[in-house]
Amino acid sequence: MSTKKPLVAVVGRPNVGKSTFFNKVAGRRISIVDDMPGVTRDRIYVDVDWLGYHFTLIDTGGLELKSDDLMWKHIRTQAELAIDISDVIIFLVDVKTGVTSDDLEVANLLRKANKRVVLAVNKIDGQDESLVFDFYSLGLGHPHPISAAQGLGIGDLLDDVISGFERKDIEEESDVLKIAVVGKPNSGKSSLVNYLLGYERSIVTNIAGTTRDAIDTPIEYEGQKFLLIDTAGIRKKAKVDEDVEYYSVVRSIAAIRRADIVLIVVDSEEMLTEQDVKICGLVHEAGKPSVILMNKWDLIEKNTNTAYEFTNKLKEQLKFMSYFKPLYISALTGRRVNQVLKVALEVYENASRHISTGLLNEIIGNAILTNEPPLRSGRRLKIYYAVQGGTNPPTFVFFVNDTSLIHFSYLRFLENHIRDSFVFEGTPIKLVTRAREGKEL
């Protein structure tokens, strides 16, 4: 069983309070996974649990008006993209500015879409609530008066958002592994999917973003059933590159969170770009096993050390993801593509690996003998015992005397020791500490 969470996009002009609303709803649910360079910090999504209903809230980055000349182009492009990826759209407007011409243009697009729109009128604190009635003119139904800053009216708004959701998880075949194919536009995702499938399911051109919607395609490899989730990009007439890249990340988020395994496709000619690192960060933070596919390898001038040199470059840029598993391929010529599903299965098996409590504690005991926890504020951390609390990703729980005594660097030491002792290549692992009195290891 797996859950495909509904996507809820927050759309609004600049300065309507969208970020304030997003952060208020997110509350403390956002956890900093890793304080290392390269992990995306400009979070644009958060998982929300409201009255037992689960969905993913996406901050669309705002309907930025980058210049007067491009005003409508940007409004239309970003609004259409938000509509494409979302199940429900929260349209945030500002009671202080009233109904603007930009609001009316976006409302026209939203009315034509086959998506549910929830209208939120922000900054109502200290204002005459009768002003909210002006927003009925947008033709989007009942406007919810809210104050994102003070948290007023947000509960009623979220009640409306979840009103069409089903509480029950979406069931899928348990023996089918879902593989998301992600990467920035024009990295060769569709070419890879086509080669794996043996026929051209996606349109493949050298124009970035020629597949508009993610398409799920079943495939079987050595008796294992897969579902390929192709996030090949966004086709649009307006050539606003920043928007394409931004929404390719948003689209990738949805696929990553559904997937059991993620294939990150990188253009070898460009090496890792900032966009690639951001996508890797999303995969890492989602706790998914992955394979980094260095595509277009046929276009790289090579010597005997080329792959080794590329891997070293990856290590430099992906220090937060030191467990990465690379594979150098050419989706065009088919070079090593026959290994892709095999390696994908390997990293999934690594993510599913369970270590017995006895063996785990033996390994941790040896680690402590090698490097005793340092003193902190005159006190020393004591680790009583450890257990594996789960898989996908492998999660290890350490029961200690005081969680405040453990330093990030010592957790990293323990993680490295676990990785040196067991095969967890291609998958993140999580270390959790719990305070408990007991017998020391």
- What is the set of domains in the chain, with CATH numbers? 7-162 (3.40.50.300), 176-351 (3.40.50.300), 357-435 (3.30.300.20)
Nearest CA-CA partner of 392 in 279, 261, 278: 261
Exposure class string for 235-271: b at 16+ Cβ within 10 A, else e = bbeeebeebbbbbbbbbbbbbbbbbbbbbbbbbbeee
Residue 79: predicted pLDDT: 62
Residue spans of the chain under pLDDT 50:
1-3, 28-43, 65-67, 169-172, 202-213, 233-241
CB atoms within 10 A of CB 169: 12
Q: Cα–Cα distance between 415 and 398 in angstroms, integer?
A: 12
Q: Cα–Cα distance between 210 and 74 in angstroms, integer?
A: 19
Determine what percent of the chain falls in helix, strand and coil, rounding each to the nearest 5. Answer: 35, 25, 40
Residue type (1 letter), 330: S
Residue 331: predicted pLDDT: 92
Q: Cα–Cα distance between 272 and 294 in angstroms, integer?
A: 9
Residue 46: predicted pLDDT: 75
**Distance set, CA 162 to CA 23, 32, 35, 136, 184 (Å):** 18, 27, 33, 21, 31
Residue 165: predicted pLDDT: 86
Residue 130: Cβ-neighbour burial (10 angstroms; 0-12, 13-18, 19+): exposed
List Cβ neighbours of 143 (8 Å cut-off, separation of 6 or more). 93, 119, 120, 121, 132, 133, 135, 136
pTM above 0.85, yes or no: no
Q: Cα–Cα distance between 31 and 1 in angstroms, integer?
A: 25
Q: 3-class SS at 55?
A: strand
Q: Cα–Cα distance between 109 and 106 in angstroms, integer?
A: 5
Residue 7: predicted pLDDT: 84
Backbone angles phi, psi at 245, to 5 degrees: -65, -40
Residue 77: predicted pLDDT: 66
Residue 184: predicted pLDDT: 83
Residue 35: predicted pLDDT: 33
Q: Judge contact between 396 and 432, C-beta under 8 A.
A: yes
